[in-house]
Amino acid sequence: QKEVEQDPGPLSVPEGAIVSLNCTYSNSAFQYFMWYRQYSRKGPELLMYTYSSGNKEDGRFTAQVDKSSKYISLFIRDSQPSDSATYLCAMINNAGNNRKLIWGLGTSLAVNP
Amino acid sequence: IAGITQAPTSQILAAGRRMTLRCTQDMRHNAMYWYRQDLGLGLRLIHYSNTAGTTGKGEVPDGYSVSRANTDDFPLTLASAVPSQTSVYFCASSAGASDTQYFGPGTRLTVL
């Protein structure tokens, strides 16, 4: 079993829809959780960064962490064609010396006008 | 403009040839990373450096080497390229080992 599971999609939604992207993980020691967005033929860019459980909102984007269920989500409200990209979750165990990001495979999202 | 630059943008290479991918950052970040990204396999860490003068092996280090002579530069060398090293290579940096990583634009490498 991978440490981080993420459905690769593809996910296709109409413009204006609410999008829910999710990752599950197995290591309860993960403390920091990130969502990156990657446009085609570009490098990943950080979208959201959260610590431990709870919600964090930034404009149309909300990141949610549920540590009890080992489940994180990214919600996109009023989705736009410019949101079409691959979304990668990443998380890190900040204990000890082996502090490496563990990545999901990414979910491909297409928002259709 | 602050950030990470990678060179070349793309390269086609004959198997057996030596190749160095360049990465430079101007954010004075301590940590730097090399990843490869392949369809269905996601981002996989090749090598990393937590600070200038130190390097470490990631998930898929075989066939690759790195050096970190100074803070800004982190070249990745393929000593003798093989077709399985065909991939998109991303360099990244972060202020500290557990901080947010910032990525370069990537190098598309094809080994024939």
Nearest Cα residue to B17 out of B99, B77, B107, B105: B77
CATH classification at residue B77: 2.60.40.10
Give the residue numbers spanning the domain of B23: 4-107
Do the domain assignments include residue B60?
yes
How many domains is chain B built from? Answer: 1
Shortest alpha-carbon distance between residue A11 and chain B (Å): 16
Do the domain assignments include residue B28?
yes
As a whole number, mean pLDDT of residues B97-109 equals: 90
Do the domain assignments include residue B23?
yes
CATH classification at residue A85: 2.60.40.10
User: Is residue A104 predicted with pLDDT exceeding 80?
Assistant: yes
CB-CB under 8 Å, B97 with A46: no
Q: Beta strand A61-66 with A101-103: parallel, antiparallel or unpaired?
A: unpaired
How many domains is chain A built from? Answer: 1
Which range is most confident: A23-37, A90-104, B8-22, B86-100? B8-22
Which pLDDT score, from 0 to 100, does residue A43 have?
95
Give the residue numbers spanning the domain of A71: 4-112
Task: Tell me the pLDDT tens digit for each residue of A6-64.
Answer: 988 899 999 999 999 999 999 888 888 999 999 999 999 999 999 878 899 999 999 99
Which pLDDT score, from 0 to 100, does residue B96 have?
81
Task: Tell me the pLDDT tens digit for each residue of B45-85.
Answer: 999 999 999 999 999 999 999 999 999 999 999 999 999 99
Q: Which of A45, A104, A106 sits opposite B103 (nearest CB)?
A: A45
In our burial notation (b when 16+ CB lie closer than 10 A, e otherwise), range B59-94 reads: ebbeebebebeebbebbbebeebeeebbbbbbbbbb
Chain A residue numbers with beta carbons less than 8 Å from the beta carbon of B58 are 100
Which residues of chain A approach chain B closer than 8 Å at the C-beta?
8, 32, 34, 41-46, 49, 88, 92, 94, 99-101, 103-106
Proportion of chain B above pLDDT 90, given as a percent: 91
DSSP string, chain B: --SEEEE-SEEEE-TT--EEEEEEESS--SEEEEEEEETTTEEEEEEEESSTT--EE-SS-TTEEE--SSSSB--EEESS--GGG-EEEEEEEESSTTSPPEE---EEEEE-
